[in-house]
Each structure stands twice: as structure tokens, then as C-alpha cells.
Amino acid sequence: MTQAVGQHMFKAKSGRIINISSAMGESPLPFQTHYAASKGGINAMTKGLAQEWANRGVTVNAIAPSYFETDMTEASRENANANALIMSKTPLARYGKVEELVGLVIYLACDNSSFMTGAVIPLDGGWSAG
């Protein structure tokens, strides 16, 4: 998808790629190796493309959230053991709210972020701090 969209951005000599990674791309939980590896790949792709596409006017960054209140995390939130493990890695001791992602997405999409490329930005309640 990034390659396909990038072609249009190259023609315009402008664009913003915002990849969605995960806190687990840098700090995985046990038994999540496959997921962590895929998100680590997103991180590497983000940094590599940021270097390759900078001279084409395209910035490439990623957001690395931890656990947010979504349908995907409902089972974890309801499972006492899983929830305890997640909270043990989250200093703010809560799940993120989807609306807390909005400001960062807007920032990365607008001209105010034009000097930022190759960043993998944690939005994780402190997960990456520990």
C-alpha cells in the first residue's frame, strides 16, 4: 500500500506516510512474537523509507500505540490475567482511548511536522518507558 500511495506522492513531490506500529515492536509480551516481529518490520520500513523518500518530499513516520479500548482488545480487558500483565507494563494503568490518537495523526499529516521523518512515536501510557 505504501509503495502504491508513494508513487502518487512522488509525482506531487509532497506527502505524509503514517504507519501504524505497536509498542510491541520494541517491547513485546511473551507469546506475541509473531505480532511483535511484524511491528518491528513496520518500524524498520518506516526508518528505511524515510531515508529513501526524503528527497522526494515525502515524510514517513509511525505511531506505536500499546493497548487501546477497541473491539480488538475487549478479550484482554475482560481476562483478569491478560489485563494484569498489560497493566504491569503500562505506568498510566489504563487503556488508551481512540480519540487520544487523533491529535498525533493530525500533527503527522500536516505541514507542522515537515521536519519529522523516520520517527516511531510511542503512544502507550508509558509502556516504552520501562
Residue positions annotated with a catalytic role: 35
Q: Which run of H or E residues covers position 15?
A: strand 15-20
Closest by CA to 22, choosing from 84, 101, 112, 117, is 101
Per-residue buried b or exposed e for 63-80, using 16+ beta carbons within 10 Å of the residue's own CB: bbbbbbeeeebeeeeeee
Maximal CA-CA distance, the chain: 51
